[in-house]
Amino acid sequence: MSDIADRASGKIRVADITLAQLSRGLYRSNATVFKELINNAYDADATEVRVNTNFPAFDYISIVDNGSGMPLESFKKHFADDGIGSSSKRRGNVNETEIHKRPIIGRLGIGMMAIGQLCHSFEVESHYINEKGKKLAFRGEIVLTNENIPDLLSEINKPTSKGKEIDVGEWSFEKIDFEQDKKGFRIYSNDVRGTFRREMRESYETLDEFRNVPFSLKNIISILYNSRSVRDCKAYLETIWELCTLCPLPYYDNEKSPVSWNQNAKIEILDSNFSSFIGKRQSDLLGYNFELHFDGILLNKLIQLPSVEDITSRVYYFEFDQEIFDSRLKFSGYVFSQVSRAIRPFELNGIQVRLRNVGIGGYDATFMKYYKQVETIRSKWVSGEIFVDAGLEAALNIDRDSFNEHEEHYKSLQKYIHEVLDKVFDETNKAAMQKREIVKETKLSTQSNRLKDYVITASKGKFQLKEDKNIHKSLEIDNKKGVITINNSIQEIRSNKADQLYKIIEIAYHISRAPKSEEERHNTFMELVKKALKEII
C-alpha cells in the first residue's frame, strides 16, 4: 500500500444509495445508535467502552474504547476510496476476534455513521499498532450534510443513475503522535442535534429519581421494576434499559441468570439442560472480558424473572441445529411463563432474538407473529430469549434491528418457536384455569366461614349454618329447627362480595323476626345489617 499523506480531506463516499440514508437517520432509538458504536468496540477486542452524554446537559457525546483502534487506511477506505459499507471484517471466513475470540458482530462497516442521527458533525481519534508493529495515530473529522443525498423514490425513477457517486458530507484527517494511554478508538461530538438534547433533558426534568444522582445500576433496577413500563421512565432510563437488553453483556443478578431463585416463587424447570445452558452463556459472556459504562454506570443484562414474588412459573428450554437449504441454522433458548400475572416491566414481554449475543429489535410481544390467537391478557405472562449461534444473518435488515420475515432461516426459526409456544400457551392456560378454581374454592370457603361466624354471633347461638349443594335456592331458613342452609354454588348476584352481602341481609331479616315488638325487630335488623357492612365492605 502506498504511503498516506500526513493530512487530507475530501467528500464522504457511500457504497450504495440506500446506505446514503444513514446520515438522515436509520435507527429506531438513541440506544440502537449507541449499540452500533459499542458493537464496533466489541469487534475491536476492547475490554472497556465508556459512553458519556454529559448528563444532565446532554450537549456533548463521546464513546471511548481501549480496543485495537481503526487504522488510517481503513478510515480512508471507508470514507473516501471504497465508500461506507465496504467493510472487510468478516472476509475470508474470519468469524472471531483475534484476542478474546468473540463472535464478530459487524458485517457492512456502517456502524460509525450511526452517530449522525444524534449529531451534525463528529470527530474521531485512533491510536493503534499496525501489522508491522508500528505505533500510529490520527485524528479525523466528519461533517454530515443532507443537501446532496437524493430521495430514494426519485433515484429509482431515474432512467440512469450515478451509482455509487453519492456525497453525504466531508471528511478530513491529520496524523498525530501515538499515546499509549489513548490506545483504542474514540468518537465525540459537541455538535449534538437539538432533538436529542431536548428529549434527554425532558427525561431529567420530569423524573424525580434523577434528583438522587449519581445513579447505581441497583437503583436503576429498582426504578425500572417498580414501573409498569420502561417508557414511563422517559428517554434517559429507556436508553440505559435498551443498552442493557441489546448489547452482548452478562446477566446482572447474583445467580447470573435471567431466572432468579432468590424470591418466594415456585419455578418449575422442565428441562435440566436449561441450567447448564444459561450457565455456559453467562460464562462465555464473562469470558469475553467486555465492560460497558454509560455515564459512569457499569451495565449488565437486567432480566429478572419473575419480577414479583409468589408466582407459579415454568421454564421451557429448547435447542435446534439443522441444515436449512444447505446452510446451517443453530439456536437455543428458553421460554418463561408465569400464571396470572403480567411480566414486568412490559418491555420484557415477548421473545428476544439474540444474534451473535446482540439483541435484535427488543422483545417481540407478537411472538414472531404467533399464528394462533392468544388471549391478550395471557400472552402478557410470557417472556423468552433465543440465542442464534449460526445462520439467520442473511435475514438481518440493514439497521440490524429487524429481520426480513420471508427469508428461509427466519421462517424456520419462526415455525419452530411457534410449535414451542403451542405447548407453552396450552399448559399456561390449563394452569391458569386450575389456579382460578383453587382461588374460587378458597373464596367460597372463606365466605362460608364468615357466614357461619356471623350467624352464630348475630343469633346469639339460636341459629346454625349448614352447606348443601343439593338445595335449589341459594339460601333456605328453617326457623323451627334454627337452621340456615346455604348453597354457595348458586349466586344471586354475580359479584362475590355483593352476593355474600345479599345472603347476610336475608339472614339478618329472619334472625331479627324473633323479637316481639316492631321496634325491636327493626333495631335488631339494622344492627345486623350494620355489622355485615362493616365486615364485608
pLDDT in tens, 248-297: 999 997 668 898 766 666 788 888 899 899 999 999 999 999 999 999 99
C-alpha cell at 298: 457499569
For the cut 50, the answer to whether the pLDDT of residue 90 exceeds it is no
CA distance 426 to 280: 30
Q: Kindly state whether residues 498 and 390 are assigned to the same domain.
A: no
434 Cβ contact list (under 8 Å, min separation 6): none
Q: Kindly state whether residues 403 and 529 are assigned to the same domain.
A: no
CA distance 136 to 125: 11
Is pLDDT larger for residue 136 or for residue 496? Answer: 136
For the cut 50, the answer to whether the pLDDT of residue 371 exceeds it is yes
Is 452 inside a domain boundary? no
Is 56 inside a domain boundary? yes
CA distance 225 to 218: 11
Mean pLDDT of 162-182: 82
Domain containing residue 150: CATH number: 3.30.565.10
Residue with cell 349443594: 469
Q: Kindly state whether residues 228 and 186 are assigned to the same domain.
A: no
Is 2 inside a domain boundary? no
- Domain count along the chain: 3
The torsion angles phi and psi of 509, rounded to 5 degrees, stand at: -65, -45
- Partners of 462 in the β-ladder: none
Q: What is the pLDDT of residues 216-235, one digit of tens each?
A: 888 888 888 888 899 988 89
Q: What is the pLDDT of residues 13-63, one digit of tens each?
A: 665 555 555 555 678 899 999 999 999 999 999 999 999 999 889 999 999
Burial class (CB in 10 A: 0-12, 13-18, 19+), 23: buried
Q: Kindly state whether residues 110 and 177 are assigned to the same domain.
A: yes
Is 379 inside a domain boundary? yes
- 474 lies in which domain range? 459-536
Q: Kindly state whether residues 214 and 161 are assigned to the same domain.
A: no
* Of 451, 460, 431, nearest in space to 499 by CA: 451
The torsion angles phi and psi of 136, rounded to 5 degrees, stand at: -135, 165
Q: Kindly state whether residues 321 and 286 are assigned to the same domain.
A: yes
pLDDT at 253: 75
Q: What pTM was computed for the model?
A: 0.80
Is 451 inside a domain boundary? no
Q: Kindly state whether residues 282 and 239 are assigned to the same domain.
A: yes
Q: Residue 152 — pLDDT band, cuts 50, 70, 90?
A: very low
Q: Residue 189 — pLDDT band, cuts 50, 70, 90?
A: very high
Contact (Cβ atoms closer than 8 angstroms) between residue 367 and residue 428: no
Contact (Cβ atoms closer than 8 angstroms) between residue 134 and residue 43: no
Please report, as a single letter, which amino acid is at residue 36. Answer: E
For the cut 70, the answer to whether the pLDDT of residue 148 exceeds it is no
Domain final residue, candidates 438, 468, 486 = 438
Most confident of 162-171, 215-224, 360-369: 360-369
Report the range of poorest mean pLDDT among 107-121, 178-192, 352-366, 415-429: 107-121
Q: Kindly state whether residues 117 and 222 are assigned to the same domain.
A: no
Q: What is the pLDDT of residues 419-444, one digit of tens each?
A: 999 999 999 888 888 877 767 777 76
Is 497 inside a domain boundary? yes
Residue with cell 499496525: 130
Is 443 inside a domain boundary? no
Report the range of poorest mean pLDDT among 334-348, 355-369, 418-432, 448-462: 448-462
Burial class (CB in 10 A: 0-12, 13-18, 19+), 529: middle
pLDDT at 1: 45
Q: Kindly state whether residues 304 and 351 are assigned to the same domain.
A: yes
Contact (Cβ atoms closer than 8 angstroms) between residue 171 and residue 9: yes
Q: Kindly state whether residues 355 and 499 are assigned to the same domain.
A: no
Q: Kindly state whether residues 403 and 474 are assigned to the same domain.
A: no
Helix boundaries (H) for 131-215: 152-157, 194-206
Is 265 inside a domain boundary? yes
170 Cβ contact list (under 8 Å, min separation 6): 9, 10, 11, 12, 142, 143, 145
Q: Kindly state whether residues 380 and 244 are assigned to the same domain.
A: yes
The torsion angles phi and psi of 79, rounded to 5 degrees, stand at: -95, -20
| Residue 423 exposure: Cα atoms within 13 Å on the Cβ side | 13
